[in-house]
Copies of this chain bind each other. A is one copy, B any other.
Amino acid sequence: MPSDRNIRLSDIAAIAGVSLSTASKALNGGDRISEETRARVREIAERLDFQPNALARSFALGRSRTIGVLTYRAASTFAGPVLIGAVLQLGELQQASLVFDEDLLVPREITNSIRELQARRIDGLLVVGDGHERVSPSVTHHFSVPVTYAFAASDHLDDVVYLPDNEGAGRRATRHLIERGRTRIAHITGTAGSIAVQLRERGMRAELTAAGLQQAGPTRFGTWASDSGADAMSALLDSGAEIDAVFCGNDHIGLGVLGVCQARGLRVPEDVAVVGVDNWEGVVLDQSTRRLTTVDLELHRLGRLAAADVLAPDRTPGEHLVPPTLVLGPSS
């Protein structure tokens, strides 16, 4: 049962025998008030479980304690975790989220969503992309509040952007394999056009070069499915390439590669070590059944960081890369 009627600040003031303004200052830590009075008011507020009406407060202060969230295909596999991380972080910061899912890639006028966000006097805006396409045109200039982009760059260089560190993922995986003593590392990945693929490849090459190694055979592109990974692995082995490790574009490919190894009697990780990307097993399985070492892009964390950034006092323009983490499994 919620309390009969909500307690107002005026009730507290009356009981404490002070004015409204004094009571307000007492609770909000204003100056020009004695410690005794402050303590007395606070004690009474505490005792009555006083909760100031957030609506009145927002109205008076002109701050809504609401962050607008503009998403693009938020229900998709990768954008989903970013959005979840964001709304959870916003909740922890006592901010409501006003989420609108839109097509962020078309040139647009001021949409109804943007108008609604403005009318609601949001305190900041978080734009969550789909991880692939650049948000264009940037929506920043429609707002006078901080705007942060998560999981997608915008077409405006001064925007604050949070992205997974795909190059770092390539480096991390490769470094791990090198540390495990591997010297003939192959690369099987997804669609060649993907920017993520290109960045991971660059990271892999950088790390190989730093170690004075050559990639084992050319990078094999395909789809992101395990069948594609299996096919590529079979072709790779059939070509007679000598390999002792494979860096895979994602975990599905990795599992496909694992299947081929098993079928051909190659021991994992003794003969061939395998590393994937996405930590897909971590999402769905308990750790005891993990089969793959993988690089986790930390999408939840990405969402949280970007959300916190919107409210941060010191924001720095440009791209912020979220470091991936290596998740060890039995495949390396």
Binding site for B on A (CB under 8 A): 1-2, 49, 51-56, 58-59, 62, 64-66, 69, 71, 74-75, 77, 80-81, 83-85, 87-88, 90-92, 94-101, 115-116, 118-121, 141-144, 223-225, 227-228, 252, 259, 280, 283-286, 289, 300
The minimal Cβ–Cβ distance linking A50 to chain B, given in whole angstroms, is 10
B51–A55 touching, CB < 8 Å: no
A143–B2 touching, CB < 8 Å: yes
Q: Per a CB cutoff under 8 Å, which of B87, B280, B285 touches A97?
A: B87
A88–B97 touching, CB < 8 Å: no
Residues on B with C-beta less than 8 A from A101 are: 88, 91
B119–A53 touching, CB < 8 Å: yes
The minimal Cβ–Cβ distance linking A254 to chain B, given in whole angstroms, is 13
B88–A84 touching, CB < 8 Å: no
A94–B116 touching, CB < 8 Å: yes
Q: Which residue on B lies nearest to A250, using beta carbons?
A: B284
B285–A118 touching, CB < 8 Å: no
27 residue pairs bridging A and B, Cβ less than 8 Å apart: A2-B118, A2-B143, A51-B119, A52-B119, A53-B119, A54-B121, A58-B59, A66-B66, A74-B84, A74-B88, A75-B84, A75-B88, A80-B84, A83-B84, A87-B87, A87-B97, A91-B101, A92-B100, A96-B96, A96-B98, A96-B120, A97-B99, A223-B289, A224-B285, A225-B289, A252-B284, A280-B284
With A59-B59, A143-B2, A285-B224 in contact, is A120–B54 under 8 Å at CB? yes
Q: How many copies does the complex hold?
A: 2
Residues on B with C-beta less than 8 A from A85 are: 75
Q: Which residue on B lies nearest to A110, using beta carbons?
A: B49
CA distance A295 to B100 in the complex (A): 29
CA distance A119 to B65 in the complex (A): 12
B121–A285 touching, CB < 8 Å: no
Residues on B with C-beta less than 8 A from A84 are: 74-75, 80, 83-84
CA distance A99 to B84 in the complex (A): 10
Greatest chain B CB density within 10 A among A65, A66, A228 is at: A66
The minimal Cβ–Cβ distance linking A229 to chain B, given in whole angstroms, is 11
The minimal Cβ–Cβ distance linking A172 to chain B, given in whole angstroms, is 22
Q: Which residue on B lies nearest to A100, using beta carbons?
A: B91
Residues on B with C-beta less than 8 A from A227 are: 289
Residues on B with C-beta less than 8 A from A120 are: 54-55, 65, 96
Greatest chain B CB density within 10 A among A71, A96, A119 is at: A96
CA distance A283 to B49 in the complex (A): 46
B66–A62 touching, CB < 8 Å: no
Q: Per a CB cutoff under 8 Å, which of B66, B80, B228 touches A80?
A: B80
